[in-house]
A and B are shown apart, each in its own frame.
Chain A
């Protein structure tokens, strides 16, 4: 055990957890990393490429090494950073990236092959033969490389989504963030304080110095108590602000229940969309390391992380309490760690300081002007080689803290393409002048990192942010705090012949950077892609700036001349589950139900998705084994008796106003102003480029009142286009629009008995052919006073009507029509039968009006009126479209048993089938119960002149070639006797 006294953990409670099957104990307040260290566990994983043994390297979000699989089964979460996983009772973690046991990884062989696996190795080695990449190389590499594996099972958890609005968003709950939140909240502003950690305080929890003479933890507790009393402040703990988006919108993930064994009924995580007038970024800084030979052994970690483990978590990094610990530093901060270690009773073997003038700041040995040039200890550090003035000695130590200075966490300042600038005094990139609008950086992330400076900066920036939005605020009073800040010596890496890791997660060494330099991959963007530096879960938080400095050294240029590291969202890994926010399965999109849905369900209907709608596809009856049987029965019922079909999903748009007719004349390619009141007309709409895009009926209920219907698929689009025409093109027209698709339930009543059936429900209207002929319409009442609209229109070619009632009566009307029509043979039918009937009648639908066909191709060229301006009319007459000679025709196979498939291409009989000889294609095909044969619709070159000709329908996918005969449309009732009966 390596647990010492003190720390911000609750020793009164003991938590049990498992790592690689072994049981350990920790306390509330621990992270998985601190608990493992407290249990003396130092080997936690293997590296990505060389499978080198690795341990905890940091104490926060930047962790490159200690990635574990958390949980098991469907909840297993790979690549979880042990340094930010909050410990809970029953936590189960498993190490990753090894074959066999963690201690004896079979793929450690890769490490011996390292001389043959330099940067760019894949690009150079696996080039030949080309075909091997997908079939051999990539699968093998993918098996060997990579981080954790997904469970492959559906995510069992629920995710939430929330919206927050505030005047000031404070990102980070450390010294600067707390001072900013206090300042803003006391001024009465609406404040959101979001902190990554499960405990507020940031680095204050990791340091040993006091604030106003009391431990920093107590000062934080007082601030938290005040926060609780301020209703205008909302604190989001365990919340990572991962991106800065446009107009003050920030994305954040709150880990609501990741610190519990299971979320229970609650959310696992919540995606917050925070809209802030101003933002104070108080994201702190990340320590950087100094690459030296064999610097990746378990036990070597950032000196600041070591301080965190000792001070906050009372966990020391050695194997046993007697093992000494060493420090390697180029700045004073490393000495602070040595002091804190000594104060907590941890033996310090010495501080290796690159500075010649370094002196001890406590009772420990300082080796000044020295570097670490080697290490020993395969599965955990045992000794370091220290070189001073050309002389080397081995120093025994079980852990080494490395400090190379601190990099401000400028990430969010870059999310709008802002570029950080190099501060030569601080030796670090700090935010530039092009932050996202409204974002002010404060504290360590702005390069002002002493406790005193961070507190003052947080308060000052919050007051400045509030002033910008007209809220007066005084910076909060500040406690007395340490104010030491000394920049590091510009010492970036220890040269040598052995491998010195720069990016631990991607196994990128100083040598790899030198090789990239040698191979002229010098711009940072090339360096990254050639070596994989800065990729994967940590995105180079501990390596990017160091790599840049090494490249600068190799090129003999300054760091700012060499490049800048910029960052894109997300700041830290975000699970796809929370981005989806629970929009999966049946919640993937809204589902629209027709007014007769529940009725149809009770009849045993099979449903099909049509856009967002669920529509009855067919109504199987007992004894029907195949959908085809149901469809044939339904189709025969319509042709011989009467059928009912819910057609509510067709778009309906009410068009009213004195200019309604003139307006619709502009929208339809054919005339609508001339339509008589009480009549319906078929209408075709074109896009402005001249192609057809939607069709439907247009009914004139009054002089100033039309009802436009659209196809189901285009209901939204047509409405949008009508509004565009009304508001943007002809605002002078007196016309108003409203979509009434959902307001009216509409039922098609089709078949020779439809009149007889409707006479039983429509109140006192003469439905005789003379009084209510084909294409008549009227406002009526049904069932003794219910208002309704009746249209005599037909999609099937039979005597048919569509009747509309307010949507809430749709179910009742359907039931009434079924009751009244038993003796008339009434039969409900679904979309399959609807399709069969319309193909038999030769009506175009979505497959024919697919956005690539013109009115002329559809045989509707004469509808485009030359006498008026209408959308698409001019372009429909342009040369390219006027020269188009393919026409919609009917097709029947010469052999009645042969199959017709939509999508088949048409070729002249006997011709070689090629792109050049193609003459069209089949758009729709079905079996026609009426004709007892398969039939199809299709476009054929000069189709109207070739009726009776035999051509070939080819389906090369299945090697089919079927002789078919071109026939005239429609297949049924060519003279319209049934339609007008």
Chain B
């Protein structure tokens, strides 16, 4: 597979380490009320769809960026790749 790195262009998937569901970006606040239940979901529940999926890839043998890659798990089509930092800043404004 080739992953379209937003900074480096198409890179071979062998350069990356796969983590999984990009829901891991939404880490609960450990000091909030009900944190344990929120963490239970965060740690143990993952989406694993047959179809379009947003997942985390780490460019470990490259520039060490964490990417959010949108991939169709049925066809392996890659529909987009963004720096995880950009995704977090956009989706979780502080």
Which residues of chain A have a CB within 8 Å of any CB of chain B? Answer: 245-249, 275, 416, 437, 688-689, 716, 720, 723-724, 727-729, 731-732, 868-870, 873-875, 877-878
Contact = CB atoms under 8 A, between A and B. Distances in A.
Contacts of B42: 688
Interface string B35-66: 11001101110000000000010101000111
Nearest to B35: A874
Nearest to A732: B94
Contact of A728 (B39, B64, B76, B84): B84
B84 A247 contact: no
Given A688-B43, A720-B58, A869-B30, A727 B84 contact: yes
A878 B28 CA distance: 15
Nearest to B92: A731
A877 B36 contact: yes
A874 B56 contact: no
A689 B43 contact: yes
Contact of A247 (B2, B39, B88): B2
A760 B23 CA distance: 55
Contacts of B64: 723
A875 B42 CA distance: 11
Contacts of A878: 36, 40
Contacts of A720: 17, 58, 60
Contacts of A416: 75
B39 A875 contact: yes
A247 B76 contact: yes
A107 B65 CA distance: 62
Contacts of B29: 869
Contact of B58 (A689, A724, A874, A877): A724
A418 to B, nearest CB: 11
Contact of A688 (B1, B31, B39, B58): B39
Nearest to B1: A246
A727 B17 contact: no
Contacts of A275: 2
A727 B85 contact: yes
Contacts of B40: 875, 878
Contacts of B19: 724
Which of A688, A724, A727, A870 has the most chain B CB atoms closer than 10 A to its own CB? A727
B85 A246 contact: no
A877 B76 CA distance: 40
A637 B83 CA distance: 52
Given A869-B31, A874-B30, 13 more contacts: A247-B2, A688-B27, A716-B60, A720-B60, A727-B83, A728-B88, A729-B25, A729-B88, A731-B89, A868-B31, A873-B30, A875-B39, A875-B43
A720 B19 CA distance: 11
Contacts of B88: 727-729, 731
Given A275-B2, A720-B17, A727-B83, A246 B76 contact: yes
Given A870-B30, A874-B39, A728 B85 contact: yes
A844 to B, nearest CB: 23
A868 B94 CA distance: 19
A689 B40 CA distance: 8
A729 B24 CA distance: 9
A723 B66 contact: yes
Contacts of B77: 437
Interface in B71-94: 75-78, 83-85, 88-89, 94
B79 to A, nearest CB: 13
Contacts of B36: 874-875, 877-878
Nearest to B3: A247
B25 A728 contact: yes
Contact of A249 (B2, B30, B84, B94): B2
